Structure 1
């Protein structure tokens, strides 16, 4: 089954993406805790706004980081993990 890049991700209610100076990284805050994100996840997470489709996120990242042919697959993988962990909703 192929991933539908026209889907639009948004953070689930109660989840907030932000930079946390104490962690010196971006994190995902939620009522039960916090998830520290690596640089790749932070770059993707920073573009999740409930407006951009997965395809638009891939295109924006491609402008920032050109020359990575696996970029689209990496974004899809992040979306699948984030959906499975219930961090995001895809509509």
Structure 2
């Protein structure tokens, strides 16, 4: 009934800081795992994280083209996260009619 398996999911995240980009990517792990399995999930434990791609986009801004010049940065990451999943397989549960 209770099963454990290990899987790897690829998630992406964006943010205006490096920490926000990683946090956004890691927030998508649960939804990605839930879409990939029909079982009821009890626990999702990250085992390993590898960075597939990390990018920064720098954009220059200025008020009225001359004043208050600044650079804005947007970070994006793509991660491969290896997770160990504990789930309940409903196919192995015997339901009794009353």
Normalised to the residue count of structure 1, the TM-score between the two structures is 0.23
Higher relative contact order (CA 8 A, sep 6+): 2
The structure where helix makes up a greater share of residues is 1
Tell me the TM-score normalized by structure 2.
Answer: 0.22
Looking at secondary structure, tell me which structure has more strand per residue. Answer: 2
When Rg is computed on C-alpha atoms for both structures, the one with the higher figure is: 2
